[in-house]
Amino acid sequence: MRAPSGPEVAVGEVLLSVENVSLSFGGVKAVSDVSFDIRKGEIRAIIGPNGAGKTSMLNIINGFYHPQQGRITFKGQTRSEMKPHEAAYGGIARTFQNVALFRGMTVLDNIMAGRSLKMSAGFVWQLLRFGPAMREEVEHRLRAEEIIDFLKIQEIRRVPVGRLPYGLQKRVELGRALAMEPDLLLLDEPMAGMNIEEKEDMSRFILDVNDHYGTTIALIEHDMGVVMDLSDRVVVLDHGVKIADSTPGDVRKDQAVIDAYLGVAH
């Protein structure tokens, strides 16, 4: 059940493009006719007021929602529908707005779960914990430990994540997504509910991920300061419609964006 991982995309080239995508639930239009692209190696922010369709957009990209119209091209392959686990195999990882971790499992197990798609030892070997399955466990355990070191969560690796404070849970969730070694990392409000110190830590991790691993990142964020600091380009949605798409500096001066945020009557 392995989706082809597709051709390599050079830095600066378009990694993912969304063309004329529309999605509605019953009569409610969540996203209408939105197009934008994400280039390899950049940090792309998706911003907008509440209900603008940002999370819907992420859900479309990783296959949770299937748009009624439009095309999505990822690594040169166009598709209109993709299942979430196919998106994951294709190289798209994500985190969630309100943290979706495996709460009963330890930090280490959560991160190892992120590596499960890289593991392939047969069922019988796994049961015996022998031969290829054992080699594989050890090898992937090493990668998991690297990520744990990277995110500085060594002390809590054996703790069930349900017991961790919210800020750390968000960090573990980032770790699980990183364990998938994604080409495209989708972060849905990675700093929601954090205090300033936690936000600074998370910002640094995001920049480091982008820098060290060269991972392309698309993030949704409400804190405009954070968006300005982190992102290379920003796309702004309002009521499901794209109203701006430019650099952070330009977007901040854009009259339509200011109106959307301050609530000018349309």
Partner 1 sequence: MHLLYQIFIDPFVQMGSAPDLLAQTLWEGLVAGVLYSLIALGFVLIFKASGVFNFAQGIMVVFAALTLVGLYAHGVPAFLALGLTIAVMLALAITIERFVLRPLVNQAEIILFMATFGLTYILIGAGELIFGGDPKVMISDQLLLPNGAYRIQMLGGFVQMQKIDIAAAIIASLMVVGLGVFFQKTRIGRALRAVADSHRAALSVGISLEYIWVVVWFAAGVVALATGIMWGARSNVSFALEIISLKALPVLILGGFTSIPGAIIGGIIIGIGEKLGEFYWGPLFGSGIEEWFAYVIALIFLLFRPQGLFGERIIERI
Minimum separation from the CB atom of position 1 to partner 1 (A): 6
In contact, 25 and 60? CB cutoff 8 Å? no
Euclidean distance between CA atoms 226 and 128, whole angstroms: 48
Minimum separation from the CB atom of position 104 to partner 1 (A): 5
Q: Is 83 in the site for partner 1 (CB under 8 A)?
A: yes
Q: Is 54 in the site for partner 1 (CB under 8 A)?
A: no
The SS3 call for residue 19 is strand
Query: Euclidean distance between the first and final Cα of the chain, in Å?
Result: 48
Euclidean distance between CA atoms 96 and 185, whole angstroms: 11
Q: Is 167 in the site for partner 1 (CB under 8 A)?
A: no
Minimum separation from the CB atom of position 165 to partner 1 (A): 13
| Number of residues located near partner 1, criterion CB under 8 A | 34
Q: Toward partner 1, which CB reaches closer, 114 or 240?
A: 114
Query: Which H/E stretch holds residue 18?
Result: strand 14-25
Among 105, 168, 207, 256, binds partner 1 (CB under 8 A): 105
Q: Is 253 in the site for partner 1 (CB under 8 A)?
A: no
Q: With CB under 8 A as the contact rule, which of the stretches 15-23, 32-40, 78-86, 149-157 interacts with partner 1?
A: 78-86
Euclidean distance between CA atoms 26 and 54, whole angstroms: 18
Q: Is 89 in the site for partner 1 (CB under 8 A)?
A: yes
In contact, 251 and 237? CB cutoff 8 Å? no
Among 57, 96, 187, 206, binds partner 1 (CB under 8 A): 96
In contact, 247 and 233? CB cutoff 8 Å? yes
CB atoms within 10 A of CB 6: 13
In contact, 41 and 13? CB cutoff 8 Å? no
Minimum separation from the CB atom of position 180 to partner 1 (A): 6
Among 5, 68, 116, 154, binds partner 1 (CB under 8 A): 116
Rg (CA), the chain: 19
- Which residues bind to partner 1, rule: CB under 8 A? 1, 62, 64, 83-85, 88-89, 93-94, 96, 100-105, 109, 112-114, 116-117, 119, 121, 123, 126-127, 129, 133, 176-177, 179-180
